[in-house]
Every structure is written in C-alpha cells, then in structure tokens.
C-alpha cells in the first residue's frame, strides 16, 4: 500500500431513517445515519431502485480517492480487473469496489467548519446530483479536500459481494 494515499474516511453507520419528510423522487432515496465509532452524522442520496437500504441497517461506509486496492491514483482510462492487455499493476490488484455493493464517484464541493473552536467539519460531496453530507469532528475527515474526486463505497453488515454481480440486477 502506498504511504502517500489511503482511505479518506471509513466507519460503520446505523441507518436512522430513509426519506425522512417524504419521498421526493421515484428512483432516489435519502439515507440518514449515525456513525458507530466516530459519532458522525451522514446523509446521502442513493439510487433506491438499484440498492435497497432500510431503517436500522448497519452500513460500512468508505470514502476513497481511488478504487485501486494498492491506492495508486486512478487514470482516466477504464481498465477492468484481469484485463490481460492492461499494463497497469492496478488491474491485477483488484478494485475496492469488489468488496462493496454500492459505489458512486463524485467530487467534494463544500467544506465548512463549525463549533466554538472550529473543530467540527461539514463535508459535502456531489455524485452527479446525488448528494452526501458528512458532519462531525474534523480530525476524522482531515484527508478530504475541496474539489477532490471521491468514491463512496457502501455495503450492509454481513453482506457478501462478488465481483461483477449485483443482487438487484433485475430491478435495473
């Protein structure tokens, strides 16, 4: 693993509510959750026709700067894992996405400080219009920077993932 890059944030969350205040869109829901380890507040929009989340689900949530398991930076070229024509070492290492059931790619567009001593941060990320808000102590989010490209990776506790499969393919 590269010493220069690592995960930006990771924690387990308990889902507090889905679509609190009513559902606004047919294929998008908003999940509100509370961090178990770091007591963070998380809200994010997700494609509910692709991935199902329910109140009280336990989610593993990761924010990463790359999908490469060796944390080498992403290139702008798609190289599926195991592609023999690819010379990139990351194609043989595998993808972080292989270990998660729901993945989105976006960009951090706003970071705010709050609290009397400015020790709390609010980070906002857009995934092509689907939004994420993460609030809590800044020391747990200090690797996240403005305009940074970020991957959101989610899986439910106890959920097994298999590369190249989606348990909800019939819903797409």
Residue 116: the pLDDT is 85
Residue 108, exposed/middle/buried by CB under 10 A (0-12, 13-18, 19+)? buried
**Radius of gyration of the chain measured on its C-alpha atoms:** 16
Instruction: Evaluate if pTM is beyond 0.75.
Output: yes
- 71: alpha, beta or left? (left if phi > 0; alpha if psi -120 to 50): left
Angle ∠(51,53,58) on CA atoms, nearest 5? 125
- Residue 50 has what pLDDT? 96
Please state the rounded mean pLDDT for residues 84-94: 52
6-61, pLDDT tens digit by residue? 999 999 999 999 999 899 999 999 999 999 999 999 999 999 999 999 999 999 99
- Amino acid 165: pLDDT: 45
**Per-residue pLDDT tens for 106-156?**
999 999 998 888 899 999 999 999 999 999 999 999 999 999 999 999 999
What's the pLDDT score for residue 49? Answer: 96
Backbone angles phi, psi at 122, to 5 degrees: -125, 120
Between 116 and 164, the higher pLDDT residue? 116
pLDDT at 161: 62
pLDDT recorded at residue 170? 43
Domains and CATH numbers, the chain: 9-74+88-162 (2.40.50.140)
């Amino acid at each position: 693993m590269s010493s220069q890059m690592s995960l930006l944030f990771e924690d387990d969350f308990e889902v507090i509510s889905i679509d609190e205040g009513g559902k606004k869109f047919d294929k998008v829901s908003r999940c509100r959750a509370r961090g178990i380890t770091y007591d963070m507040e998380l809200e994010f929009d997700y494609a509910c026709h692709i991935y199902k989340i329910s109140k009280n689900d336990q989610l593993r949530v990761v924010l990463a700067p790359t999908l490469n398991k060796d944390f080498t930076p992403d290139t702008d070229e798609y190289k599926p894992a195991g592609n023999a024509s690819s010379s990139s070492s990351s194609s043989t290492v595998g993808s972080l996405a292989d270990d998660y059931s729901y993945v989105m790619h976006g960009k951090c567009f706003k970071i705010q400080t709050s609290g009397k001593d400015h020790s709390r941060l609010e980070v906002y990320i857009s995934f092509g219009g689907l939004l994420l808000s993460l609030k809590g102590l800044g020391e747990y989010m200090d690797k996240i920077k403005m305009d940074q490209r970020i991957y959101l990776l989610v899986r439910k506790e106890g959920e097994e993932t298999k590369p190249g499969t989606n348990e909800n393919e019939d819903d797409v």
